[in-house]
Amino acid sequence: MVLRGFRRFRLFFSYFKDLVGQEVTVELKNDLAITGTLHSVDQYLNIKLENTRVVDQDKYPHMLSVRNCFIRGSVVRYVQLPPDGVDVDLLHDAARREARGG
Amino acid sequence: MSWAGPEDIYLSTSLASYLDRKILVLLRDGRKLMGTLRSFDQFANAVLEGACERVIVDEKYCDIPLGLYVIRGENVVLIGEMDTEREELPPHMIRVSETEIKRAQKVESEASELRGTMRKRMEFLDFD
């Protein structure tokens, strides 16, 4: 059963599903930034990354052996995308449609 | 662009692939827990067997054993699968005892508190 609240925000879920396989950098609210291949995403925008490497590795020695990770959606600040990995017009249209309720 | 179909309601980023593996859990309070993932649920609640907290201060580190832990998902920042074939930490790091790392932590928190107090004093003086 999908709650009404989630139905309104399926746009980004669908959008991230299309980005699976691309290289992204996820910046977390605790300032940790991780680059990796987007493996999967879910309705909470939890993210699973593969082949990860930490930006500024020296500051986070404990992450050295981590190559795959699960990131809780609630702690994400930004998801940095490849500039040519985004079809801005398509996204723009989809946002307008979603806002209209269609 | 693909729209979410009815089957996507059940689509989730599953932690199942990490079951029975050694994982690193980063918590919101900055703690780093390690252990074997034995169970999880949709909220990212997790059961960690043989858990320990890896405390790192500068070049020193210590693993404090904790036993069997149930972690509430809302505190979880990240769950990372630790590759056992890779070095867990850079080679220059030194393993120390629990008492020594606790002492180092105290020194570090006092130093950052002092920095905070000094900054507040500067801000009060309102330098332009």
Handedness of CA B83, B85, B86, B87 (dihedral sign): positive
Nearest CA-CA distance, residue B101 and chain A, Å: 16
Say whether A64 and B12 touch across the interface (CB within 8 A): no
Segment A14-33 mean pLDDT: 94
Count the Cβ atoms, other than its own, within 10 Å of residue B54: 18
Phi, psi angles (nearest 5°) of residue B94: -115, 130
Q: Looking at the partner chain, which of B1, B11, B14 has a beta carbon nearest the beta carbon of A94? A: B1
Q: What value of ipTM does the predicted structure carry? A: 0.85
Determine which of A17, A72, A77 to mutate to test the interface with B (most B C-beta atoms within 10 Å): A72
DSSP code for B1: -
Q: Nearest-CA neighbor of A66 among A34, A18, A27? A: A34
Average pLDDT, chain A: 88
pLDDT at B119: 87
Instruction: Report d(CA A36, CA A79) in Å as an integer.
Output: 11
Q: Looking at the partner chain, which of A2, A14, A46 has a beta carbon nearest the beta carbon of B2? A: A14
pLDDT tens sequence across A55-76: 999 999 999 999 999 999 999 9
pLDDT at A7: 57
- What does each of the 128 residues of chain B score in pLDDT, given as a tens digit? 444 444 444 456 789 999 999 999 999 999 999 999 999 999 999 999 999 999 999 999 999 999 999 999 999 999 999 999 999 999 999 999 999 999 999 999 999 899 988 888 888 887 65
Residue with the larger pLDDT of the pair A83 and B127: A83
